[in-house]
A = this chain, B = another copy of it.
Amino acid sequence: MNTNKKNEAIFLISTQDRKGILAEVSGFFSKNNFNVIKSQTYSDLIDGQYFMRIRIDLSDMQITCKKFEEDFAELAEKLKLNYTIHYTSNVQKMAIMVSKTSHCLYDLLMHHSEGELDCEIPLIISNHPDLEVVADRFRIPYYCFPVNGANKAEQEAQILDLLKKHHIDLVVMARYMQVLSDNFISNYPNKIINIHHAFLPAFQGGNPYQRAWERGVKMIGATAHYATKDLDEGPIIEQDVERINHENTPEELRAIGKDIERRVLTRAVTEHLEHRIILSGLRTIVFSR
């Protein structure tokens, strides 16, 4: 879905909800003669917050981005807007972290190969050497940092160095089986996406498919969420489920689950890369494409 391949700026805005806010913001773009391609709003009446996502076509811009950002900053100060601006011409850089399980990695690389993920993937990081062969197939550098009880902080520091050096915008934990430290996570707030192989908040923690089988549930699922210091407690981005039946063994649940994990993680990554997500506390606002 290369809908972002054009030269656009995307504004993600949140502010306190109040009368006239839409008119003021859309008036700004209109007065300045910007070409609004799409404007999406959400008014959270419970928390009294207002959220906007605005896509601007920059192809006929008469002023510089700098000028344009200054003007908007002035408006934002007046209206007390929190906001970020994203230019589709700035290709994002995504790092993938894996352990020994390849299915999510393959799915990301496959979608990337077909132009469905609008980013570069400068590197894949693992705590095991096993998946180097997959990285090789797609010609992406593979770095291995084995972790044991003693060296975890040190290895994380090295990984952080590598991420910084490559100007990484988004880290995707595609079944990376190490818990990241609070320090690591604080370097990429709301920029680390994790896939949990269960329908959260059911079956937090380890071995969810075995536990799902034992409980006798009739559907299994997967959850993609931003990583926070509380494991499996971060803001949920995407979830999906599939119907199972009594015949399915725990091993078969794992196999069925692989396809759910693949599509849930890939969708969440797509939504992040397309700048369609705004956080509101523990909840995510995910605008449609």
Chain A residues engaging chain B, CB cutoff 8 angstroms: 1, 3, 19-20, 22-24, 26-27, 29-31, 33-43, 45-46, 102-103, 106-107, 110, 113-114, 116, 134, 137-138, 199-203, 213-219, 221, 235-241, 245-252, 255, 258-259, 263, 280, 282-286, 288-289
Structural contact, B1 and A255, CB atoms closer than 8 A: yes
| Residues of chain B contacted by A3 (CB below 8 angstroms) | 251-252
**Contact A217-B239, Cβ < 8 Å, known A23-B30, A33-B19:** yes
| CA–CA, A45 and B20, complex, Å | 26
| Residues of chain B contacted by A107 (CB below 8 angstroms) | 110
| Residues of chain B contacted by A283 (CB below 8 angstroms) | 213-214, 216, 246
Structural contact, A219 and B246, CB atoms closer than 8 A: no
Structural contact, A30 and B35, CB atoms closer than 8 A: no
| Residues of chain B contacted by A27 (CB below 8 angstroms) | 23, 26-27
| Residues of chain B contacted by A219 (CB below 8 angstroms) | 199, 221, 239-241
- Nearest to A279 among chain B residues (CB) is B216
**7 further contact pairs, Cβ within 8 A, besides A19-B34, A103-B110:** A22-B26, A23-B31, A27-B27, A110-B110, A137-B138, A201-B215, A241-B241
Q: Which 4 A-B pairs have the closest CB atoms?
A: A23-B30, A216-B283, A20-B30, A202-B202
A42: which of B22, B221, B246, B286 is its contact (CB, 8 Å)? Answer: B246
| Residues of chain B contacted by A1 (CB below 8 angstroms) | 251-252, 255
Structural contact, A216 and B110, CB atoms closer than 8 A: no
Minimal beta-carbon separation of A116 from chain B (angstroms) = 7
**Contact A218-B238, Cβ < 8 Å, known A39-B22, A102-B113, A201-B202:** yes
SS of A interface (majority): mixed
Minimal beta-carbon separation of A239 from chain B (angstroms) = 4
Minimal beta-carbon separation of A259 from chain B (angstroms) = 7
Structural contact, A239 and B218, CB atoms closer than 8 A: yes
28 CB < 8 A contacts A-B = A19-B30, A19-B35, A19-B36, A22-B26, A22-B30, A22-B36, A22-B39, A23-B23, A23-B26, A23-B29, A38-B43, A46-B249, A102-B113, A103-B110, A137-B137, A200-B217, A201-B202, A201-B203, A202-B202, A213-B283, A215-B236, A216-B236, A216-B282, A245-B288, A246-B283, A246-B285, A247-B289, A263-B263
A106: which of B46, B114, B238, B288 is its contact (CB, 8 Å)? Answer: B114
Minimal beta-carbon separation of A199 from chain B (angstroms) = 7
| CA–CA, A123 and B46, complex, Å | 39
